[in-house]
């Protein structure tokens, strides 16, 4: 039976029904893959599955990565636990793609709502391909040939001692990625810079680098290329890290927000 796909906007996001994440294979899996490429962000609600089934579902799309800095779920190294409480307030409230500081950043992530506040705590997504299309031709010509240097130490590195940082930098040296990448499956051109991880634009002065990164971020901040997801317990959101950026709102304090993520290994941007 065909799954039901209800678009959230004309170009970004879709709510999916007719899928049991605990048992996805064959034609249903292929339909889900196509929907993911077409809509970039998929929402599957009321999926009451185990942690093991969450991991198994992620593996249907590829190998899963283990994040070297984020907190993992005890006994499940593939699962990143993101928990915010009144005592520890955390939200990734900046526009970014995940782990762009890796030589081969993640293909996509599958995030589960575990404890959801009664209000707030939404996640916003931006279509980086649509954002690129809205650039003037002058800006496209300017940024198309450029490369950016991505470095984990700009964010995660701030939590480490000098010795720990040097050790991690040996494992994860700065990565050089195109400012505008090409999606390996759709061929779409997408913006691939963010303030969290881009240290510099290769060949540019610090002032020029900041100008370029800032201008591209403003295209992503346009509500016309965005959708906003309201969470529920056992709502799953899966996004294509090659085609979108995301931003978690921090508007739910002092309530608790707890989500858990598995992430599919990707390949080198080109």
Residues identified as active-site: 96, 98, 246, 261
Sheet with strand 257-264: strands edge to edge: 4-7, 14-17, 41-44, 236-240, 108-115, 257-264, 76-84, 72-73
22 Cβ contact list (under 8 Å, min separation 6): 47, 49, 50, 53, 57
Tokens of 253: 């304090």
Question: Phi/psi class of residue 26: alpha, beta or left (left: φ > 0; alpha: ψ in -120 to 50)?
Answer: left
Distance CA 176, CA 151 (A): 9
């Amino acid at each position: 039976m065909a799954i039901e796909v209800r678009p959230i906007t004309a170009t970004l996001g879709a709510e999916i029904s007719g899928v049991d994440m605990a048992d996805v294979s064959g034609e249903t899996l292929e339909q889900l893959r196509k929907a993911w490429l077409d809509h970039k962000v998929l929402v599957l609600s009321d999926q009451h599955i185990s942690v093991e089934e969450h991991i198994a579902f992620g593996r249907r799309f590829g190998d899963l990565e283990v994040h070297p800095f984020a907190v993992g779920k005890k006994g499940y190294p593939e699962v990143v636990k993101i928990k915010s409480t009144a005592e520890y307030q955390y939200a990734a409230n900046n526009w970014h793609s995940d782990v762009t500081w890796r030589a081969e950043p993640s293909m996509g992530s599958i995030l589960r709502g575990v404890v959801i506040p009664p209000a707030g705590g939404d996640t916003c997504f931006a279509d980086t391909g649509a954002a690129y299309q809205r650039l003037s031709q002058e800006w496209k010509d300017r940024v198309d040939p450029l490369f950016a240097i991505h470095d984990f130490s700009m964010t995660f590195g701030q939590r480490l001692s000098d010795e720990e940082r040097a050790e991690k930098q040996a494992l994860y040296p700065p990565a050089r990625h195109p400012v505008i990448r090409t999606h390996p499956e759709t061929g779409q051109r997408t913006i691939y810079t963010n303030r969290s991880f881009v240290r510099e634009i290769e060949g540019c002065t610090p002032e020029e680098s900041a100008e370029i990164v800032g201008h591209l971020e403003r295209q992503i901040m346009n509500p016309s290329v965005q959708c906003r997801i309201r969470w529920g317990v056992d709502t799953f959101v899966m996004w294509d890290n090659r085609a979108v950026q995301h931003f978690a709102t921090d508007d739910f304090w002092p309530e608790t927000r707890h989500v858990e993520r598995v992430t599919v290994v990707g390949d080198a941007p080109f």
